[in-house]
Amino acid sequence: MEDMLQEFLQEATELLGEVDLKLVDLERRPEDRALLNEIFRGFHTIKGGAGFLNLNGLVDLCHRTENLFDKLRNGALALNPEMLDIILAATAEVHAMLNELSRGRQPPAPTQALLEALEAAAAGRSPTATPVASAIQEPDWAALHRAVTGDTQPASTPTPQAAEGDALPEPARILPSDAERVMGARDTSIRVDTGRLDYVLTLSGEIGLTKNRLVSLRNDILKGRVDSVTLRALDEAVNQLDLMVGNLQNAVMKTRMQPIGRLFRKYPRVARDLARQLGKQCELTLIGEDTEIDKTMIEDLNDPLVHLVRNAVDHGVEPPEERVRLGKPPQSEIRLEARQEGDHILIEISDDGRGMHPEIIRARAVAKGLISAEEANALDNRQALHLIFLPGFSTKEQVSDVSGRGVGMDVVKTNIEKLNGSISIESEPGKGSRFTIRLPLTLAILPVLVVHLGSQPFALPLSLVREILTVTPEEVQRVSGRPTMVVRGEVLPVLALADLIQWPEGHDGRVGVLVHVGGRQFVLTVDGFAGRDDVVIKSLDSFRPKGVAGATMSSAGEVVLILDLTQLLDSREGLLAGRAPMLASLAA
């Protein structure tokens, strides 16, 4: 029964995401029969699965919505804005019911007002009160910011009565405990194309054959047959094994990859609902939906992307009358695009709105006491734009249910950096803004640069590294008491890794690593570097000091700590005050 519930939740969520996307299209093309048919089939499929699991409230809601779409697709009714509001309210209710079920709670019955509104719409009557469609459930950014976990106890609700209508299979009863146990499995389950699994099996068989060849060669060597032919065969077998293990690693990683479109398709509805609430006209265009990304990252990207889309609608684009006055079309365009570049995924959220003014951002940050006036004046325009990621920053004068609390963009940045990613901003006043998220292709394997302090190796995420420099004492100059050096005409801070982590051994710091971390660019000095490597991250659950993302093993069998430069920079003063020796003792 757990497997059936899990499969239903996964399929219903995907179907509902498709329905959301098609509803946004339907608002522009209300007479498109193909769209009406597809939405009808979506609700019909969800109803069938819900009926088998005895989710009677969900069955009733989908059945009544299905009836309405049946009349729309047959031409008996014509879609109007009031009717679309009722449909969106029904879709939002289905979202809420699936969400409750996925959390191990019995979903509540749909409201009688919504059911009556659906019946009235299907009969061609105006409902006494039109339900308001709530947006897809948004994250509580204040709660995320405080890392507070809400109550997860299952809610006690009456079991809804079975709906009248189409005959359904004999229901299988789901107990709350079944749903609770499914939660973990649902979070970690993944659908994999059978072709990819067949390739993994083929590679496994080939590796087994090569292993047998190596065993045979080992026996020959143990018997004293160490001639040129045996050594050449050994070398060929090792090279072949290395190639096949690499292919197997890539094939297994691809089984974790999922099209990002599954995530993107919910955002047109988010943008549409918020734009309507704010009296704006905007269209969200999706590009690169087939781009594949690690499934675990897809789940963690949802909250940041929801906020960025809402931010574009709320802050970025102008109301229709203002756009017309500026010579722009009344409907604004927001683009959400994904593409792969090398071993990274780039996600861009851009708009053609009012853009951001660096001088206003500087003034707001100073007024809120986030930075001093001297620090603000020292920032160039690109750096000033990144002030919006400071905790507590907001350009809104008044707090509303949409924005103004100064909670959100800093959490977006933090969540993206937890995925070993980065976010940058480009903006031109009057033309619009673009947020670019840069993420590794997968979290399973992390490309790193291995550096040394003395004989101890450390690993830095390669996504943060721009280049390797030679640092001489003559190149380092002090500005306001802080070491700096000029790199291609730009004065950059110089930070010693040994000072950041209070490494006990002396170092010469003749090698500089130019890194870019969350809008901050600086030169990190180390004693040397071993080169690039692809490593598997091992978590340090029992003891993880600040500034350490995890650990891995080098080819020589050494423990290599993978450093979290963001944490090291953010807690620099605390590290210098005495917490850093924990890091040194762990690597010792």
Where does residue 16 rank: exposed (0-12), middle (13-18), buried (19+ CB within 10 A)?
A: buried
Mind spelling out the 3-state secondary structure of 19-75?
A: HHHHHHHHHHCCCCHHHHHHHHHHHHHHHHHHHHCCCHHHHHHHHHHHHHHHHHHCC
**If you average pLDDT over every residue of the chain, what do you get?**
80
Residues 6+ positions from 33 with CB-CB distance below 8 Å: 73
Q: CA-to-CA distance for 326 and 305, rounded, in angstroms?
A: 28
- Split at pLDDT 50, 70, 90, the class of 254 is confident
Least reliable range by pLDDT among 95-104, 211-220, 419-428, 513-522: 513-522
Residue 254 has which token pair?
């691809």
Cβ-contact 61, 110 below 8 angstroms: yes
**pTM value > 0.85:** no
252-265 average pLDDT score: 85
pLDDT score of 295: 84
Does the pLDDT of residue 191 top 90, yes or no? Answer: no
469-483 average pLDDT score: 87
pLDDT score of 506: 62
What tens digit of pLDDT does each residue of 281-329 get? 999 999 999 999 888 888 889 889 999 999 999 999 999 999 999 999 9
Q: CA-to-CA distance for 285 and 309, rounded, in angstroms?
A: 11
- Percentage of the chain beyond pLDDT 70 is 82
pLDDT score of 188: 57
β-sheet with 559-563: strand ranges across:
528-535, 446-453, 456-461, 559-563, 548-553
What tens digit of pLDDT does each residue of 94-145 get? 999 998 888 888 888 898 999 999 999 999 887 665 554 444 444 444 443 4
Cβ-contact 531, 525 below 8 angstroms: no
Does the pLDDT of residue 66 top 70, yes or no? Answer: yes
pLDDT score of 217: 92
58-70 average pLDDT score: 93
Q: CA-to-CA distance for 548 and 455, rounded, in angstroms?
A: 18
Does the pLDDT of residue 440 top 70, yes or no? Answer: yes
Does the pLDDT of residue 429 top 90, yes or no? Answer: yes
- N residues, the chain: 588
- Split at pLDDT 50, 70, 90, the class of 409 is confident
Does the pLDDT of residue 279 top 70, yes or no? Answer: yes
pLDDT score of 4: 80
Where does residue 27 rank: exposed (0-12), middle (13-18), buried (19+ CB within 10 A)?
A: middle
Does the pLDDT of residue 493 top 70, yes or no? Answer: yes
For 261, the 3-state DSSP assignment is: helix
What tens digit of pLDDT does each residue of 4-41 get? 888 888 889 888 888 988 888 888 888 889 999 999 99
What tens digit of pLDDT does each residue of 536-559 get? 877 776 666 778 888 888 777 788
**Which helix (H) or strand (E) is 581 found in, with range?**
helix 581-587
Does the pLDDT of residue 445 top 80, yes or no? Answer: no
- Split at pLDDT 50, 70, 90, the class of 354 is very high
Does the pLDDT of residue 436 top 90, yes or no? Answer: yes
401-418 average pLDDT score: 69
Least reliable range by pLDDT among 41-50, 102-111, 177-186, 477-486: 177-186
pLDDT score of 428: 93
Sign of the CA dihedral running 120, 122, 126, 127 = positive
pLDDT score of 538: 79
- Split at pLDDT 50, 70, 90, the class of 375 is confident
Q: CA-to-CA distance for 567 and 546, rounded, in angstroms?
A: 6
Residue 477 has which token pair?
């100059």
**Of 318 and 573, the one with more pLDDT:** 318
Where does residue 25 rank: exposed (0-12), middle (13-18), buried (19+ CB within 10 A)?
A: middle
